[in-house]
A and B are shown apart, each in its own frame.
Chain A
Amino acid sequence: MNDSWQENARIMLINAVPLLATILLMFLFYMPIHMSQTNFFRPTIGVICVYYWTIRKKDSFGYFAAFRVGFLTDIYSSSPLGTNVLMMMFFVFVLHRLSKLLYALSFCWSWVSFIFIGLAFILLKWLLLSLYHQSFLSLTEVLLNFISTVMFYPLIVSVNVWLQNKFLPQEGINE
Chain B
Amino acid sequence: MKKNGAWLLKIGQLRAVLRRFFVVLLFVCAGMFFLLGKVNSPMVDKIDKAMISVTGPVMSVIEFPARIIHRIYTYFYDISHIYADNKILRAENHQLMVLQNKVRTLEVENQLLERLLNYVPPLEASFISAKIIAESGDNFTHMILVYIGDENVKRGQIVLGDESVIGRIDSVSGHYAKVILVTDINSKIPVVVERTRVRGILSGNNTAFPQMIFVRSNADVQEGDVIVTSGVGGMFPAGLPIGFVSSNKGGVISVETMADISRIEYVRIVDYGLTLDELPDSSTEVP
Contacts and interface: CB of A to CB of B under 8 A. Distances in A.
- A in complex with B: yes
Interface of A: 26-40, 42, 44-46, 63-64, 67, 70-83, 85-86, 89, 125-126, 129, 132-133, 135, 137-138, 140-142, 144-145
Nearest to B186: A133
Nearest to A149: B138
Nearest to B260: A36
A86 B31 contact: yes
A145 B55 CA distance: 24
Contacts of B132: 32, 34
Contacts of A40: 139, 208
Interface string B58-101: 11001100100010011000000000000000000000000000
A35 B255 CA distance: 20
Given A140-B207, A141-B206, A81 B137 contact: no
B11 interface: no
25 contacts: A27-B62, A32-B66, A32-B132, A32-B133, A32-B134, A33-B66, A33-B135, A34-B265, A35-B70, A38-B262, A39-B139, A40-B139, A67-B26, A70-B30, A71-B51, A77-B141, A81-B36, A82-B37, A83-B34, A86-B31, A86-B34, A89-B30, A129-B140, A137-B206, A138-B206
Contacts of A135: 185
Given A63-B23, A80-B38, A81-B47, A138 B205 contact: yes
A133 B32 contact: no
A100 to B, nearest CB: 19
Nearest to A46: B137
B33 A39 contact: no
Contact of B55 (A36, A64, A72, A126): A72
Interface residue range, chain B: 35 or more
A32 B265 contact: yes
A37 B70 CA distance: 15
B198 to A, nearest CB: 24
A77 B140 contact: yes
A78 B206 CA distance: 13
A34 B139 contact: no
A142 B139 contact: yes
A35 B263 contact: yes
Which of B23, B31, B133, B265 counts the most chain A CB atoms within 10 A?
B23
A67 B23 CA distance: 10
Instruction: For the complex of A and B, list the 7 residue pairs with the smallest distance between their C-beta atoms, beginning with the closest.
Output: A82-B34, A82-B33, A141-B139, A85-B30, A78-B143, A145-B139, A31-B66
A27 B26 contact: no
A75 B31 CA distance: 16
B31 A82 contact: yes
Contacts of B186: 133
B23 A44 contact: no
B219 interface: no
B188 interface: no
Contacts of B22: 63-64
A81 B265 contact: no
Interface in B146-164: none
Contacts of A85: 29-30, 33-34
Contacts of A35: 70, 73, 262-263
Given A27-B62, A78-B180, A45 B144 contact: no
B191 to A, nearest CB: 19
A30 B139 contact: no
A82 B32 contact: yes
Given A34-B262, A81-B47, A133 B30 contact: no
